[in-house]
Structures are given as structure tokens and as C-alpha cells.
Amino acid sequence: MKPWLTFAWIAALRFLAEGRMQSGFILSGIAIGVGVIVFMSAMLTSVQTNFTNRVLTSQPQIQLLAPQEVARPLRWHDGVIEAAIVQQPTQRILSIDQWQTILAAMRARPDVVIATPTVSGSALAVRGDASRSIGIFGMQADDYFRIVRVPNYIVAGNSELGSDDILVGLELAKDIGATIGDKINVTTAIGGSRTLTIKGIFDLGNKGANARNAYVALRTAQSLLGLLGGVTTIDLTVTDVYAAETIAQDIQATLPVEADSWIKTNAQIFTAIRAQNLSSALIRIFVGLSVAFGIAAVLVVSVLQRSKDIGILRAMGCARGQILRVFLIQGGVLGFVGSLAGALVGAAALMVWHRYARQADGSELFPLYIQPSLFVSSAALATITGVIAGIVPALRAASLDPVDAIDG
């Protein structure tokens, strides 16, 4: 007997050790349950973190646009509308009115980290016989590339843009048969045309974006799209990415702009994440319940098997509280040890998955984010579940009458 252990701990550990087979089976059950939770939680966290990182490094968190043009009905006089049908107007590319003032206001906000103006619109990229429609983004590289990390995705050349340079995606380069240093003609619907040199080729990890996106300097885009001195959007990053929608609503309420947050523009994916989190929480609850019932069942049987021991202990002066603790500790120990084994099972499953689930080219599907807190919280939850599961059997054991227990 270890001198630092109390009677309750000594008896609990001995009883568990003596019922080796029972303890082994329930520990395996707990380990599998906790292993599933660890594996599933780590996968979900990784998918979500990976997705969020990709979204947040390839698009601004809030985009300010010129408000949509609205056709107003013709009024005869107060309360009487002349026209029966109001046609929606076409949406021209318009500059944000007083964009410098708005930009300054954005930069002054404490919850905004970066604010940078951009000009974007459609164009045609032509090289020889090949032509492709593209979206051009004119921006101030210093600020914009801190929001959309194009330099991180450059696969050839570099991202330093002069007024006659352009960055294109991997697909577009392939489609028009161009490479670094080649020149392409970019023309727009309003007649703007420039010959630009490909300075860099990027791979954003999305085929559509690689085929359509092209980045140029702000002034180049302004001249191509006929917006000299104007900008079509102001892109923002904020201190708390998950507060982006609230901040966007606040900006829209106070300034004559339309503000779209990344949360709103990715609403469907957010709904999917929420559904995933909900189903994961439900799985956790049900696995937790089955673990709790398993522990309780084993302890109830243990109380029955040990009723004579309990009776003898009570006869020898063992208080009800001591008996209660013996069984609560057994529940907690089963939960804790089972969760440690489960953490190992979960971690091993993650390693195996990461080793064998690969893209066609052998690269990883997505990086795994395994947080130590996941293991700590799983162990703590399983231990608490074990103690709670032990309450009913422990109360039953503590309430045993010594005479009845000894007589069996």
C-alpha cells in the first residue's frame, strides 16, 4: 500500500485491478469512444481552420462597394405614382463617391487593420489567336497583398507590379500559352486597351480563380476601366474576423456604401460548418452518454459482486462516505485512463489518416491542426463523466446495510 494514498484510493484501485477483465472491456469501450471524439474533432478543426485560412488570405474580410443604382418611380404628386412598372437599371461600374474620405474614415476606425482601395472590372486578355475573359483587379500592392496573399501563391516570377505589369493565374497562362515576361493585350468593354507584361503567375488553389483573376496596379486598372481617380471597392481587414458582419453592418449604416463581409459572402459554407459542428456535438453527447452508461453498468455489477466486502468494511468501521468515494474514484479512474488510451487511439488514427489519405499528386489533403487542449479537455470530460456515472452505483454501495450485505 502506498503511504500517500487514502483508503478510498487504495480500495478503488485494488478493486479495479482485481476485476481485470471487466475493467479491460470498459476501458476499451471508453478508449474507442474518446478516440472517435478526438479523431472527429481534430478533423473538423483542421478542415475549418484550413478553410478559414484560405478564405481569409484570398479575399478581404469586408468589401465596401458603391451602392446599387435604383430607379425611382415617377410621382405625379404626393402619394400618387405615375408609372405602373419600374424597370431595374443596369449597374454601371461606378466609383465610390468621396472614396478618399471614406478610406480615411476606415483607417481611423480602431477595429479596422488595413483599408485599401481597388478597381475591378471585366476585360479580355488576348495573346495571338487566344483570348479569354478575365477580371482585373487594380490595387496598391503594398496594402492589398497584406489582405490577399497573392505573393504567397506565386509559382513563377514575382509579385512586384509596375504600371505595365500584370499577374495572371496558372490556368489563364496555360490557356493563352503565356509565361513570365510575355506580353498580353488587355482590352475592356469601354475601349480601354493596354499591353501588359506578365510579371508573375500564381496558383490560388482554385481553378476558376486561376483562370479569371488578374492583378494590375491601381492606375493601370483605372485607365483600362475609365475610372480615372475613382475606385470601385475599398477592401478591409478587421481585428476580429468573426465580428466582420457586425462591423460591415455598422459601416453600411453610417456611410453611403454597401458593405459585404466575408461571413455574408460565404454564408452557405458557414451554414455547412454550423451543421457540421452541430452533428459533431450530437455525436460527442451520444458517445459521452454511452461511455457513462457503460461505466455505470460495470460499477453496478461491481457493487453487487462486492456487497460482502462492503458489509465487512462497514462492520470494521468504514463510514458510508468512504464507501461512496471508493466507487466514485473507480468511475473517475475508468474515465481518465480510458480517455488517455482514447487520446492515443485518436492520435494514431489521425497519423494513419494523414499518412494515407493523399491528393492524386501525393500532397496532403489539408494540414492537420491538432491542439493539445483537445486531449486535455477530452480527458477532463471523460473523468467527470466517469465520476458522474459512478454516482448511482456509489450511492447504492454506501446505502447498503452491513447486516444485509454480509448475509448476502
Partner 1 sequence: MADLLALEGIRKSYNVGTPVETEVLHGIDVTIHPREFVALMGPSGSGKSTLLNIIGLLDRPTSGRLSIHGEDTTQLSEAALTSLRGHTIGFVFQYHYLISAFTARENVMMPMLLDRGRPDATMERRADELLDWVDLGRWRNNRALNMSGGQQQRVAIARALAMDPLLVLADEPTGNLDTASADAVFELMQRFNRERGTTFLIVTHNHDLAGRCDRIIQVVDGRITEDRINVLERHSQ
Residues making contact with partner 1 (CB under 8 A): 1-7, 10-11, 14-15, 17-18, 308-309, 311-320, 322, 402-403, 406
- Shortest gap between Cβ of 276 and partner 1 (angstroms)? 46
Using alpha carbons, list the distances in angstroms from residue 193 to 24, 174, 224, 264: 76, 22, 6, 34
Contact (Cβ atoms closer than 8 angstroms) between residue 7 and residue 321: no
- Shortest gap between Cβ of 393 and partner 1 (angstroms)? 17
- Cell numbers found for residue 368: 492537420
d(CA 135, CA 122): 5
Nearer to partner 1, 183 or 308 (CB): 308
Looking up cell 482485481 gives 18
- Shortest gap between Cβ of 386 and partner 1 (angstroms)? 20
Task: Say how far residue 33 (Cα) sits from the centre of its chain.
Answer: 24
Nearer to partner 1, 70 or 316 (CB): 316
Work out the angle at residue 78's Cα, subtended by the Cα atoms of residues 74 and 84, and round it to the nearest 5 degrees.
Answer: 35
d(CA 364, CA 351): 12
- Shortest gap between Cβ of 407 and partner 1 (angstroms)? 8
- Shortest gap between Cβ of 310 and partner 1 (angstroms)? 10
Nearer to partner 1, 6 or 98 (CB): 6
- Shortest gap between Cβ of 309 and partner 1 (angstroms)? 5
Nearer to partner 1, 235 or 309 (CB): 309
Q: Find, among 237, 220, 206, the residue nearest to 63 by Cα.
A: 237
Nearer to partner 1, 221 or 318 (CB): 318
Nearer to partner 1, 288 or 393 (CB): 393
Nearer to partner 1, 3 or 229 (CB): 3
d(CA 356, CA 378): 26
- Shortest gap between Cβ of 267 and partner 1 (angstroms)? 60
Q: Sign of torsion, CA 165 168 174 175?
A: negative
Where b means 16+ CB within 10 Å and e means fewer, 184-196 reads bebebeeebebeb
Q: Coil, strand, or helix at residue 224?
A: helix
Nearer to partner 1, 11 or 231 (CB): 11
Q: Going by C-beta distance under 8 Å and a sequence separation of 6 or more, which residues neighbour residue 292?
A: 385, 386, 388, 389
Task: Say how far residue 302 (Cα) sits from the centre of its chain.
Answer: 44
- Shortest gap between Cβ of 332 and partner 1 (angstroms)? 18
